[in-house]
Amino acid sequence: MNLRELIMRFESLGESCEFGLVQRRSEAEPLGLFRFASTPLSKLLAALNTDFAGLGEPDALNVELSANGREYMVSDKRFGLLYHAWVLAGEMTPEEVHQREIRRLPLLIRKLKEDLSQAEKIFVYHGMGRLGGEVAPPLAAALRRYGPNTLLWVDLADTDHPAGTAEWAGAGLLRGYIDRFAPGENAHDFSLDCWLAICRAAHYLWSQSREAR
């Protein structure tokens, strides 16, 4: 399996666009609702547990320029979803971006639900600092409502958990350990080699568990 094939086996659930950029650096460009998005974990759980009902409703979507005024950002007021529109200021009007997104979001939601039902991917969640593991099991359980899914919960490494490793931490729950996350002001400054080591380790464990079924 080459690098692109490996990284295509994973799908990001947030909290930032860091893992989506890891995929881009690996020449993998999957479509994903949360690939370049962030949403509070409590809201992500609510979306999963309600089958995404109400996400992307036209009245809930807001389009505005980013803080630096260079590109459009889209937010969903109900679920706190915030993501890049990948449209520069001047390329489209806010109204045109809004119309595009109310057509696009239902397709991405349907694709994510299909991926969850097929359970052929490893779903990745990480913060931008240490999260702790107590909220990982509820997220894994929410994913498993749709099928026998696996969550890769990535947290900061420590003395007992070296960077670049992964381990089983419960039913459908893998924990990976990274040396650092990208700083908030520069998501492109990520630890690529460590991310790839985590993905290789997690994929190996996931593959072994599937073979043992």
Does 186 or 198 have the greater pLDDT score? 198
Q: Are 174 and 154 in contact (CB under 8 A)?
A: no
Integer Cα distance of 38 and 5 in angstroms: 25
- Tokens 């040396």 sit on residue: 179
pLDDT of residue 93: 95
Beta bridge partners of 10: 122
Residue type, 92: M
pLDDT of residue 133: 63
**Distance set, CA 81 to CA 20, 60, 127 (Å):** 16, 10, 15
Look over the chain and give the mean of its residue pLDDT values, rounded to a whole number.
93
pLDDT at 11 over 70: yes
pLDDT at 145 over 80: yes
Provide the residue ranges of all domains of the chain, joining segments of one domain with +: 3-211
Integer Cα distance of 212 and 50 in angstroms: 32
Instruction: Grade residue 187 by pLDDT with cuts at 50, 70 and 90.
Output: confident
Q: Are 178 and 155 in contact (CB under 8 A)?
A: yes
DSSP characters over 62-107: EEEE-TTSSEEEEEETTTTEEEEEEEEBTTB-HHHHHHHHHHHHHH
Does 179 or 131 have the greater pLDDT score? 179
The secondary element (H helix, E strand) that includes residue 116 is: helix 94-118
Q: How many CA atoms lie within 13 A of 148 on its CB side?
A: 5
Q: How many CA atoms lie within 13 A of 112 on its CB side?
A: 21
Instruction: Grade residue 184 by pLDDT with cuts at 50, 70 and 90.
Output: confident
pLDDT at 76 over 80: yes
